[in-house]
Structures are given as C-alpha cells and as structure tokens.
C-alpha cells in the first residue's frame, strides 16, 4: 500500500491527475527497488544492493543529484561494492553529472591505490576529463599522491594532456612542490 501511495505521489508530480494512470504498481515497485538500491550503495550495504540488483536495479543508476552508484562506491572507498557494480555491468567511465568526475578520479582524490588499480584493471580510461578538463593524473599530481601517479603512469596516462587552464600534471606537481612526482612525470616524458 505504501508503494502504491508513493506511485500516486510520483505520478501526480510527473503529470498531474492524468499522470496517475502512467505509474501502476509494477512501476512503483521498480522505482522503490531502484531507490532502495541507490540507498544501499550509498550506505555500502552489499547484501541489500545484491537483492535490489536481482530485482531489476541497474548498475548505472544515479541518485537525484546525478551521482552514479559506481562513483558513490568510490566515495565510500568500497572495493567490494565497486567490484560488484563492475561485475554487473557498470560503465567504468561513467561521470558524475555535476563534477564530471569518474570513480577512478574519486579513488585518486582519496589516495586509494587499490581502488585506482581496480578501476584501471577494469578498463577505466586514465585520460577522461572532468568538467574542468582535469584527468586523474592531474588530480593525483595536485594532491601529491605519488603511488597513484605511478599507477596511472603505468596504465599509460597522457603526461602532456592539459586542463582548461592549460596546466599539465607536471605543472600541478611543480605548483605543489611535489619533487618526486615532478621527477616521475619527467621520467615518463612530461615536458
């Protein structure tokens, strides 16, 4: 009954009184499962996420702010949830609609080397950019994440790619006086 009321409220919101006919009990149940799936990922509740996935939730779902569940898992630093989502078809390069960041970028910002390595192994593109034109390598250099920089370089990240301000990963490393990162980038061919 609660799901039916939720469906009525959603239908009224979507299309007024005429919209109520658009969402039947099956659609309401699907919405409810999708919402519960997103909530489970946010709370790092793998058991519930599995149950909701098998009830029809999608591994590329997003919350109301446009954040994909894979990015949420990275925000939580959860390798188990990340692996589960990837195994169930999550787009490895899916971006947060507001920041343009991917799960690889979020793991990078956290300095979560195992997460970065898992994303790269799953096929994440290290040269994808966010809304500012920054790559994971630029973020790692700016935040002084030396081991993450090494992993991204090993994965073939473009050392000379520039963001929208014209800065490279090397420029970020130099601005932040990260000599070891600057050296690693120059050894990899950065100019």
What percent of the chain has a predicted confidence (pLDDT) above 70? Answer: 84
- For residue 50, being part of any structural domain is answered with yes
CA distance 83 to 121: 11
From the CA atom positions of the chain, what is the Rg in Å? 20
Helix intervals (H) in the chain: 2-19, 25-42, 46-54, 69-76, 79-87, 103-110, 113-121, 136-142, 146-154, 169-175, 179-187
CA distance 49 to 40: 5
- For residue 25, being part of any structural domain is answered with yes
- For residue 42, being part of any structural domain is answered with yes
The confidence band for 57, taking pLDDT boundaries of 50, 70 and 90, is very high
Give the list of residues 6+ apart from residue 74 with CB closer than 8 angstroms, or none. Answer: 82, 103, 104, 106, 107, 110, 112, 115, 119
Total number of domains in the chain: 1
- For residue 110, being part of any structural domain is answered with no
Task: Please provide the DSSP assignment of 163-190 as one string.
Answer: -TTS--HHHHHHHTT-HHHHHHHHHTT-
Please report the pLDDT score of residue 33 as a whole number: 85
Across 23-27, 68-72, 148-152, 159-163, least confident range: 23-27
Average pLDDT value for the chain: 89
As given in the structure block, the two tokens for residue 94 are: 């899916």
Please report the pLDDT score of residue 149 as a whole number: 99
- For residue 113, being part of any structural domain is answered with no
CA distance 191 to 168: 9
Give the largest Cα separation in the chain, rounded: 65
CA distance 156 to 11: 48
- For residue 135, being part of any structural domain is answered with no
- Its sign, for the CA torsion 176, 180, 182, 188, is negative
- Residue owning tokens 């990922």: 41
- For residue 40, being part of any structural domain is answered with yes
- Answer whether residue 10 shows pLDDT above 70: no
pTM as predicted: 0.83
Q: Which range marks the domain in which residue 52 is found?
A: 1-56
Considering only CA atoms, which of 102, 100, 39, 48 is closest in space to residue 74?
102
- For residue 26, being part of any structural domain is answered with yes
Across 9-18, 34-43, 87-96, 110-119, least confident range: 9-18
């Amino acid at each position: 009954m609660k799901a039916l009321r939720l469906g009525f409220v959603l239908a009224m919101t979507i299309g007024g009184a005429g919209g109520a006919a658009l969402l039947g009990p099956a659609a309401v149940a699907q919405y409810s499962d999708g919402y519960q799936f997103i909530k489970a990922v946010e709370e790092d509740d793998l058991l519930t996420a599995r149950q909701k996935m098998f009830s029809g939730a999608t591994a590329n779902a997003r919350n109301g702010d446009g954040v994909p569940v894979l990015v949420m898992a990275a925000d939580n630093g959860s390798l188990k949830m990340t692996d589960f989502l990837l195994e169930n078809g999550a787009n490895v390069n899916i971006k947060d609609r507001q920041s343009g960041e991917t799960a690889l970028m979020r793991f990078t910002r956290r300095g979560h080397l195992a997460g970065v390595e898992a994303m790269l192994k799953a096929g994440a593109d290290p040269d994808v950019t966010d809304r500012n034109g920054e790559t994971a390598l630029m973020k790692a250099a700016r935040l002084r994440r030396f081991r993450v920089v090494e992993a991204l370089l090993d994965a073939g990240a473009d050392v000379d790619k520039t963001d929208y301000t014209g800065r490279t990963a090397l420029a970020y490393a130099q601005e932040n006086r990260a000599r070891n990162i600057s050296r690693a980038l120059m050894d990899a061919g950065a100019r």
